[in-house]
């Protein structure tokens, strides 16, 4: 209970500020319209108008909520205007990309930890890959893959994987190197093979690091998918909703897509968090 | 004549560091026979741990000859002829106590039906019967260290190497564990190499006390204990005990002045 009150207070402050900003930003349009129609607006009429425009500069919270409600609950989920439909398109590419990124990240980390050449050679490239703006590389990947006849889910998933493998590599390299010299010496006194040391010591030791990375990676995968949906002129997915909203000045649609994406990201991070709790608890490593 | 279990002749070890070579061990000669309880005592940097690690093939001497069971240390390690207990218990937090003791047995491919029995047996040896299903964090530091000794005993190695196993424990727990270790040694007849920096601990436990001194690490005195094999804790007040402890102290001081 004592957690809910501060959270609700912050939320109330944000909503109040949002309404104030909406009134301020949308009032110019309302006054221009009134001047054209040669009518005088009272303050009450002005406020009412700024909060109910079709294409406001900044939609009011209730407009976004109404749009969200309409496009998730009232629309059939097969409809092209349903956010659930678009959310699913984005989610499926996100999950595929997250999966590819995680597997690639773990594989690279295993290589880096066990192979001197990879240790020296791979990490700089992995870091360099993340310094390239994803907005610059995403269209190229899509164009290249398209010319190879691959389109739709796969290119988006690859861009999602491109963003999500990195935190997994960094976290897993750290995690696989977590065992200290004493624990490694102990394995040596047993004359354990590299494989046994990996499965019985390094991998279990790395679990807390893995889950911390996965939380970052799953959010990054979602961002990657949405970015991939922007330049391809995609007609499906949350990214496409953002793009078409900005084409047609549908700010309410943009904001509701943004909130849908944020909610999806939050849900994914929470699911990974729950998984982390369950696994670490079963391993006796929960704090 | 029986061959010694551990035979060191002129063992030398120089570490190459960034600050130049460090002479960790110089001309170490020592014979350890089967069933001996040998303590290595000396100030930090005297090479006592390094010598134990050489026996375990965790370090390689740069000179001299060292054999374990007539083999080179590395062959002995591969033959799994010793159990090693570190200063920290180092139990895996994701395994239960029984799971931790199973670890070496799994790695050494013991038959499945034999493993449970062995775990039970060593748990009883270290007085941890009934704690097999607990996780390490549920046990006190002393109990964790006992579990790590059980882990080293599980595969029946003839030699037990212990590197300051009770160094991090308080005096009262240490006394109790010392007493138990002696009983365990009497029951199992293992050869034990034991590193410590406590004079009473070394005198109380050992049949042979190796006094070492630093820069370069070398042996300054080897004392054959005249104490009986049966040793109650009260023996530490006996004249015999005090005499041996005095000689150890003298040896440590001599090494310090040199």
- ipTM field: 0.86
Q: How far apart are CA A64 and CA A247, in angstroms?
A: 18
Say what the alpha-carbon torsion angle A223, A72, A100, A210 is, to the nearest 10 degrees.
70
pLDDT of residue A287: 56
pLDDT-wise least confident of A228-242, A256-270, B56-70, B146-160: A228-242
Statement to judge: residues A157 and A224 lie in one domain: yes
Q: How far apart are CA A46 and CA B255, in angstroms?
A: 94
Q: Is A287 inside a domain boundary?
A: no
Statement to judge: residues A87 and A54 lie in one domain: no
Statement to judge: residues A19 and A112 lie in one domain: no
Q: How far apart are CA A158 and CA A188, in angstroms?
A: 40
**Model confidence band, residue A175 (pLDDT cutoffs 50, 70, 90):** very high
Hey, how many other C-beta atoms are within 10 angstroms of the C-beta on B141? Answer: 14
Say what the alpha-carbon torsion angle B19, B25, B27, B30 is, to the nearest 10 degrees.
180
* Phi, psi dihedrals of residue B210, rounded to the nearest 5°: -105, 115
On whether any CB of chain A is under 8 Å from the CB of B113, the answer is no
Place of tokens 């303050």: A43
pLDDT of residue A101: 95
Neighboring chain B residues of A179 at a CB cutoff of 8 Å: none
Domain termination residue (choose one: A58, A73, A102): A58
pLDDT exceeds cutoff 70 at A220 = yes
pLDDT tens for B96-122 read 999 999 999 999 888 988 999 999 988
pLDDT tens for A132-145 read 888 888 888 888 98
pLDDT along chain B (258 residues), means of 10: 80 86 86 90 86 90 87 87 89 92 91 90 87 90 89 88 87 85 87 90 90 86 83 84 87 72
pLDDT exceeds cutoff 80 at A257 = yes
Range of the domain at A221: 83-282
Mean pLDDT of A99-128: 92
pLDDT exceeds cutoff 80 at A286 = no
Q: Which of A182, A189, A284 sits opposite B94 (nearest CB)?
A: A284
Residue A95 tokens, joined: 């999950």
Mean pLDDT of A245-254: 87
Interface contact flag, A190 B95, Cβ < 8 Å: no
Statement to judge: residues A127 and A247 lie in one domain: yes
Q: Which of A237, A236, A223 is nearest to A265 (CA)?
A: A223
Q: Is A74 inside a domain boundary?
A: no
Residue B122 tokens, joined: 């060593």
For an interface test with B, which of A175, A178, A180, A186 has the most B Cβ atoms less than 10 Å from its Cβ? Answer: A186
Place of tokens 């009412």: A48
Statement to judge: residues A41 and A146 lie in one domain: no
Higher pLDDT, A2 or B200: B200
Statement to judge: residues A151 and A32 lie in one domain: no
Domain ranges of chain B: 1-81+158-233, 87-156
pLDDT exceeds cutoff 90 at A30 = no
Statement to judge: residues A153 and A275 lie in one domain: yes
Q: Is A71 inside a domain boundary?
A: no
pLDDT of residue B54: 92
pLDDT of residue B258: 54
Residue B93 tokens, joined: 């937090």
- In CATH terms, the superfamily for domain B1-81+158-233 is P-loop containing nucleotide triphosphate hydrolases (3.40.50.300)
Total number of domains in chain A: 2
Q: Is A205 inside a domain boundary?
A: yes
HEC sequence for chain A:
CCCHHHHHHHHHHHHHHHHHHHHHHHHHHHHHHHHHCCCCCCHHHHHHHHCCCCCCCCCCHHHHHHHHHHHHHHCCCCCCCCHHHHHHHHHHHHHHHHHHHHHHHHHHHHHHHHCHHHHHHHHHHHHHHHHCCHHHHHHHHHHHHHHCCCCCHHHHHHHHHHHHHHHHHHHHHHHHCCCCHHHHHHHHHCCCCHHHHHHHHHHHHHHHHHHHHHHHHHHHHHHHHHHHHCCCCCCCCHHHHHHHHHHCCCHHHHHHHHHHHHHHHHHHHHHHHHHHHHHHHHCCCCC
Interface contact flag, B86 A196, Cβ < 8 Å: no
Statement to judge: residues A175 and A53 lie in one domain: no
pLDDT-wise least confident of A101-110, A169-178, A230-239: A230-239
Q: Which of A119, A101, A80 is nearest to A156 (CA)?
A: A101
pLDDT exceeds cutoff 90 at A168 = yes
For an interface test with A, which of B50, B52, B58 has the most A Cβ atoms less than 10 Å from its Cβ? Answer: B58
pLDDT of residue A231: 72
Q: Which of B80, B93, B136 sits opposite A191 (nearest CB)?
A: B80
Q: How far apart are CA A107 and CA B194, in angstroms?
A: 42
Statement to judge: residues A131 and A270 lie in one domain: yes
Statement to judge: residues A135 and A189 lie in one domain: yes
pLDDT tens for B61-91 read 888 888 888 888 888 888 888 989 998 888 9
Q: Is A76 inside a domain boundary?
A: no
pLDDT-wise least confident of A94-98, A207-211, A264-268, B186-190: B186-190
Interface contact flag, A182 B56, Cβ < 8 Å: no
- The domain that holds A172 is classified in CATH as 1.10.3720.10
pLDDT exceeds cutoff 80 at A235 = no
Statement to judge: residues A191 and A246 lie in one domain: yes
Find the chain A residues whose C-beta atoms sit closer than 8 A to any C-beta of B: 182-183, 185-192, 196, 200-201, 204, 207, 283-285
In this structure, the strands spanning B191-196 and B159-163 are parallel
pLDDT of residue B256: 66
Statement to judge: residues A91 and A155 lie in one domain: yes
State chain A's mean pLDDT as an integer: 89
With beta carbons less than 8 A apart as the criterion, state whether A179 and A205 touch. Answer: yes
């Amino acid at each position: 209970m004592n957690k809910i009150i501060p959270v609700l207070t912050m939320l109330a402050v944000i909503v109040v500020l949002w309404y104030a900003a909406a009134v301020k930003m949308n009032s110019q349009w309302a006054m221009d319209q009134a001047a054209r129609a040669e009518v005088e607006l009272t303050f009450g009429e002005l406020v009412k108008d700024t909060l109910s425009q079709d294409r406001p500069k900044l939609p009011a919270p209730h407009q976004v909520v109404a749009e969200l409600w309409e496009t998730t609950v009232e629309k059939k989920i097969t409809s092209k205007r349903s956010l659930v439909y678009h959310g699913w398109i984005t989610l499926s590419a996100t999950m595929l990309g997250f999966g590819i990124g995680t597997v690639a990240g773990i594989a690279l980390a295993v290589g880096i930890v066990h192979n001197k050449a990879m240790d020296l050679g791979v990490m700089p490239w992995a870091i360099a890959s993340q310094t390239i703006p994803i907005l610059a590389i995403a269209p190229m990947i899509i164009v290249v893959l398209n010319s190879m006849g691959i389109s739709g889910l796969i290119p988006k998933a690859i861009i999602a994987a491109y963003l999500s493998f990195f935190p997994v590599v960094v976290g897993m390299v750290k995690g696989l190197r977590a065992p200290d010299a004493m624990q490694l010496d102990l394995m040596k006194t047993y004359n354990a093979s590299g494989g046994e040391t990996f499965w019985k010591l390094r991998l279990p030791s790395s679990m807390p690091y893995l889950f911390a990375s996965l939380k970052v990676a799953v959010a990054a995968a979602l961002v990657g998918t949405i970015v991939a949906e922007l330049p391809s002129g995609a007609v499906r997915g949350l990214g496409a909703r953002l793009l078409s909203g900005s084409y047609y000045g549908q700010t309410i649609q943009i904001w509701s897509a943004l909130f849908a994406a944020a909610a999806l990201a939050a849900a994914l991070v929470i699911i990974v968090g729950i998984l982390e709790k369950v696994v670490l608890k079963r391993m006796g490593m929960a704090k | 004549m029986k061959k010694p279990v551990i035979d060191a002749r002129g063992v030398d070890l120089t570490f190459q560091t960034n600050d130049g070579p460090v002479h960790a061990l110089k001309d170490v000669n020592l014979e350890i026979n089967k069933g001996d309880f040998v303590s290595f005592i000396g100030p930090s940097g005297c090479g006592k741990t390094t010598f134990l690690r050489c026996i375990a093939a965790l370090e390689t001497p740069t000179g001299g000859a060292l054999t374990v069971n007539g083999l080179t240390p590395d062959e002995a390690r591969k033959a799994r002829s010793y159990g090693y207990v570190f200063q920290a218990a180092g139990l895996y937090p994701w395994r239960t106590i029984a799971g931790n003791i199973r670890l070496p047995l799994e790695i050494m491919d013991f038959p499945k039906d034999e493993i449970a029995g062995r775990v039970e047996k060593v748990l009883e040896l270290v007085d941890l019967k009934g704690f097999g299903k607990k996780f390490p964090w549920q046990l006190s530091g002393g109990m964790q260290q006992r579990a790590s000794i059980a882990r080293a005993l599980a595969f029946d190695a003839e030699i037990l190497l212990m590197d300051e196993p009770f160094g991090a424990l308080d005096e009262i727990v240490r006394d109790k564990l010392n007493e138990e270790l002696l009983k365990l040694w009497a029951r199992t007849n293992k050869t034990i190499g034991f590193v410590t920096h406590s004079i009473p601990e070394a005198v109380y436990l050992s049949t042979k006390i190796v006094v070492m001194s630093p820069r370069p690490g070398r042996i300054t005195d080897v004392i054959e204990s005249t104490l009986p094999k049966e040793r109650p804790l009260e023996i530490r007040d006996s004249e015999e005990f005090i005499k041996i402890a005095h000689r150890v102290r003298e040896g440590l001081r001599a090494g310090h002045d040199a």
